[in-house]
Chain A
Amino acid sequence: MNTLQYGWRNLWRNTRRTLITLAAVTFSTAILITSYALMDGLMEHAVSNATNLVVGEAQVHAPGYLVDRSIYKSLAQPDRILKKAREDNIGAAPRRYGYGLVAVGTKSAGALFWGVDPARERETFDLAKHLRRGKFLPQKPDRTMVLGQKLAKSLQAEVGSEVVVVVQAADGSLGNELFTVTGILKTAGDSIDRNAALIHSKDFTELFVSGERIHEIAFNSRGRVPLEELGKLVAQSAPGQEVKNWRQLLPSVSDMVNLFDAFIWVFGLIFVLAAGMGVMNTMLMATYERMREFGIIKALGATPYRIIRDVAVEALVLAGIGTILGSILALAGSYYLQEVGLDTTMFAGSYTVGGVAFDPVWRATLSIKGFVIPIVLMAFISLVASLYPATLAARLDPVRAIHRP
């Protein structure tokens, strides 16, 4: 009789205990895989929201620009940087920024004006599709404006509202103009929500008398180019300028991703240990119950190695069945969560964490890593957990074991 069959038979000598342990292993595996997929989904969502929406994977600014956002600190040779990005097939969007005042009717508020190139924003980022109402800026400048959600709310602006704009132009003069609201953004991070007023770069240049000044170029390859390589490529095309990747631009999101990653492994380890304890308990009980049996086997000439092997294989069979069942369960669960997702609207509407917008529907992302590692871990811990009872059995003195009551 081969060892596997032997283990299988031994397992079902106490059906209830085996079923309970099997359930523990099954659910631990399922929960581990599913929760990892959920966390992975959340993080992937956060990172892609953080980068694809508007920040990009990297940005370049004039040295010190991010400190005071002075309209005078503009990029040197932005054309060269944009041309290089095009050659490297990396999406790049140039942006101009300036502070000013926006007013609708009797309501007014301070705003950060973004002079954007609508075509490039459309092809590189998701912001142009991230609208709650209305449309994004047209390709040609026509004095239209897209407002951040909270800014629009505080101005009580709707699509079609007329906006009076007053700014301090780069030459010291007072720039003022009438714009029409063409769209209102969805939640896109706190600072955008509160003060972003997007206008066409040509309108911006006219309003701010800012000439060729470009304050930021945001790059996005949508994960195609690794972060380090992207940083190097950008730095080459922009010597002396400040290049930052999204982890530096959004340290809170980066920290959050790292923290969650660590958290999920600690969490996973606890699950695996708990399941391992279950396996160990079963195997211990099974061993104690069969002390006489082991004694007789030993007396008949079984080596300690054979006993360890038998007990370990029994545990592995148990863990194997548990993990297979668990992964089937996890696959079904993750697939559901990936396709349908958890709707958290009842707890919170759309929300932002660390300036990054999250969708209220929480979706899982199942990766090979998040699937294989829990299974391997579970099998490994079951094996380790069985070694202790196996060693106990292997070290039995046959004579005393046989005479055990």
Chain B
Amino acid sequence: MMTLIKIFLKTLFLSFSVSVLLLNHSLLHAQEQPLTPKQILDKVDDLFRSQSSHGLATMTVATAHWKRSLSLEMWSAGKEKSLVRILAPKKEKGTATLRSGNDIWNYLPKVKRVIKLPSSMMAASWMGSHFTNDDLVKESRMADDYTFEITFIGEGAGEEIVEVTCYPKPEAAVVWGKVLVRARMKNYLPLFVKYFDEDLRLARTMTFSQVAELGGRLIPAMVTMVPEEKPEESTIIHYEKMDFDIGLENDFFSLRTLQR
């Protein structure tokens, strides 16, 4: 789902900023005016802004009480727009979520109504998964709300890895007290993201696995989110098909498309 894409993109973006930072570091001697971290982040932002994607995925949610799979079709453009539609099972077929900036709308085909998600429900689960509505929105604010710091470079699990720690800026209204990202040095593919709460206790872990070529890119095809408090529960997203730079019109991400 798009949350996933978004989080995934965020991770990519983080790992990318790491790479730029590293690059920057090595260029320091050659270049008189090094880029500030802000400029680097802006550059990364621009990279993703022009991007659009379309994909198919299966989301499997397992809780203590039930386990179910949803087939999802998703679109995204830049950092601000995304759309996810449920294809199966039958009860939810056609249910769709549109995110534009900080706003989220849900379309409910059974009652044929669109509802805008209230801000009080941002922390609530998205479609019963272990992702929250906030996950859909917050990721585009990452650069605004957090400061980035490389906390580890070196050998890990048999390969070169880099670890970036993100701390919220003092004035930022954020959910997490710390976000820790690990990626491979070689290709900056993410390995995992750990989310820590305000007391810096681990709250949940998102793991990336099954690297595969989708839409001409090498990306992890499986994303697993496990809440720390309930390790027996999980949400797994498996990407089946991805297309990048498909040239979506901006008005594709409209309430009209949502209801289609």
Contact = CB atoms under 8 A, between A and B. Distances in A.
A237 interface: no
A171 B128 CA distance: 10
Interface in B89-112: 89, 91-92, 95, 106, 108, 110-111
Contacts of A72: 64-65
A172 B120 contact: no
Contact of B111 (A107, A171, A172, A176): A176
Contacts of B111: 164, 176-178
A172 B65 contact: yes
A109 B120 contact: yes
Given A166-B106, A168-B125, A172-B128, A103 B63 contact: no
A110 B118 contact: yes
Contacts of B118: 101, 107-110
A174 interface: yes
B92 A101 contact: no
Contacts of B66: 170-172
A110 B120 contact: yes
A110 B124 contact: yes
Given A164-B108, A166-B106, A172-B63, A108 B115 contact: yes
B128 A101 contact: no
Nearest to A171: B66
B117 A101 contact: yes
Interface string B112-138: 010111101100110110000000000
Nearest to A172: B66
B12 interface: no
B113 to A, nearest CB: 5
Contacts of B120: 109-110
A164 B92 contact: no
A101 B121 contact: yes
Instruction: With a 10 A CB-CB cut-off, give which of B65, B92, B95, B115 has the most chain A CB atoms.
Output: B115
Interface in A154-177: 164, 166, 168, 170-174, 176-177
Interface string B163-190: 0000000000000000000000000000
Given A101-B115, A110-B120, A173 B108 contact: no
A177 to B, nearest CB: 6
Contact of B117 (A108, A170, A171, A176): A108
B129 to A, nearest CB: 10
Contacts of A15: none
Given A101-B121, A168-B128, A173 B113 contact: no
Contacts of B121: 101, 108, 110
B1 interface: no
B128 A103 contact: no
A106 B117 CA distance: 9
- Between B67, B92, B108, the greatest number of chain A beta carbons within 10 A of the residue's beta carbon is seen for B108
Contacts of A164: 108, 111, 113, 115
A145 B30 CA distance: 70
B58 to A, nearest CB: 15
A123 to B, nearest CB: 33
Given A101-B117, A110-B118, 9 more contacts: A101-B118, A106-B116, A108-B117, A108-B121, A109-B120, A166-B108, A172-B61, A174-B92, A174-B127
Interface of A: 72, 101, 103, 106-110, 164, 166, 168, 170-174, 176-178
Which 5 residue pairs are nearest across A and B when measured between Cβ atoms?
A: A103-B115, A172-B66, A176-B108, A108-B118, A164-B113
